[in-house]
Structure 1
Amino acid sequence: MSDTLIRQWAMLRTIPRFPKRIDATTIHTRLEDMGMSVSLRTVQRDLYTLAETFPLNFDESKPQGWCWREGASQLEVPSMDAHAALTFNLVEQYMQNLLPRSTLSHMAPWFDAAQGVANAQASTVTKWQEKLRVIPHSFNRIPTQIDPDIQATIYRGLLAEKQLEVTYRALSTGTDAKTYPLHPLGLVVMEQVVYLVCTVKNYQNARFLAVHRIDAARLLEEDAKRPEKFDMDAFISREFGIRMGDAPLNLTLRVRGILSKYLAETPVAHDQVMTPINDEWTQINVTVPDTVQLRMWLRSMGPDAVVMSPAFLKEQLAAEQAELQRLYSE
């Protein structure tokens, strides 16, 4: 393979997509870093030669900036295969609410290329797109709408680790929206809702905000500060759900039917212990957080799961059932 072809292919890979740009001097430096000895003048000539064949744009600024044209198709050597196309198809289908709008725009040529492969190759791999669906375990609801400009600002703050100023409507307080600075730490997606994990002002305790309730967001110049020993996974385990009590519960319940098999396959927690009671019932002992989600899960199982302890939780659910019976008998 000729040195010219190798050099020009390396140059094409160095040129960014619109709206980012790169100048000939930077390309020359990167080629030298790759061990390619070439003059700056040769790089400049190569750029104009490549622009005659490939969809490249340049501006009149000094130094002159080069980029791939907006909407230019993705150049892949070797070309994208069916396995890669399937991956891009699934990312486009299921990650729309998670990826920044700028990332989705940047990925558009790959998405288009993947769709072209899927259309051209009726292989068993591309047929996965027709055969695969991801559905929520809970009752399906319409996803919340997030302002794309607000989302883009939040994601920029996360990626650049900069503070944000947001205007937020708290659902629980019922008060007017409030504006304050925060330090973004991460994103969590739960039941089709995107949450921003952050600290507010100078407080060290992390909290989470529903992104769709943020009415305005502005990127600040100050660096975001991460609390010492903050652990995202520990925070999720502690805060997602809505806590009813600080201490975990030693839950004992009896289950029957197919539910006992489900819980054997997918335990509630690592310390779960299952003990047969008789041919119908199985006892479950497990440590769980004291949350609203726990109660929702217990209610969802109906008469196939009966709480034995703690006593206060058993009494609470029994009172709810009595109230439901009264309401349905009216």
Structure 2
Amino acid sequence: MAQVLFLGGFGRSGTTLVERLLGELPGVCALGEVVHLWQRDIRDDERCGCGDRFSGCDFWRRVGDQAFDGWANVDVARVHQLRDAVERTRHIPRLASASTASGEVREYASYYARVYAAAAEVSGARLVIDSSKHSALAHVLRWADDVDLRVVHVVRDARGVAYSWTKTVSRPESDGADQMTRYSPGRSALLWNAHNAAFGLLARRGVPVRRIRYEEFLADPRAGLLELAGFAGLPLSDADLHFLRGGHADLRAGHSAAGNPMRFTVGRLTLRRDDAWVRAFPRSQRRLVGAVCGPLLRAYGYPISIVPEV
């Protein structure tokens, strides 16, 4: 049975950073956002985190051979059809309330289960990480056969998230030709509420869920990694955290299938909070997001009133 740690939350909340650090631990295989594997990698042949095209990456070739006897045998159109039928935010109430899973849910989950099992086999890892973030996918995966699912719910202050979604960021996979999605502050506030609340529903269905705050994790990444390793049942020693040195981490190349541009970072990565939003986010927009997300901000321990330092 594949042991899977699913990193969930709303985009721009720090899941890629958490994944990169977890991926440095012994016995861990970090796969990136597997939810995008079918389109961006199998079909579009975008770059793996190691820098090679997906089709040229030996790791992913071996995973495909192990899981499907070759990626050519994956019916991407069928995977997308299943995704549209079951893995959408609007389907979460039905997924969360169901006592049994439909055939489509189980079929869709089986594609992921085969990838996880193959990645564990090829890498020799005892723990596989999927940083897909999507709350609906996490609800689907609770029905996956042969998957020991544990979920890390990563939350970040909604105002910092909303500010990040207003930025223009190029997708490295497209060599600068395409940009990552942008949301208005109001839109991102609504999505922040919906996606984060969905993980509370998942916990009520018996799935082990551990919530961490991005800001606290960055303040003490060593303690944060020890906590997450314990949650995942992964034994660690201080020597296993040798890549953490003061305020930075030394990262090796990984095989992240898709995700934030940080997945291509190799070498020294400075670990610091991105709090530019406190000053740069217009006050009216900051207040709007704070009002919309107020109940969950309070529940997660964030202050409602933010006063920028002079």
Q: TM-score scaled to structure 2, two decimals?
A: 0.21
Q: TM-score, normalised by structure 1?
A: 0.20
Return the index of the structure with the highest Cα Rg.
1
| Structure that is richer in strand per residue | 1
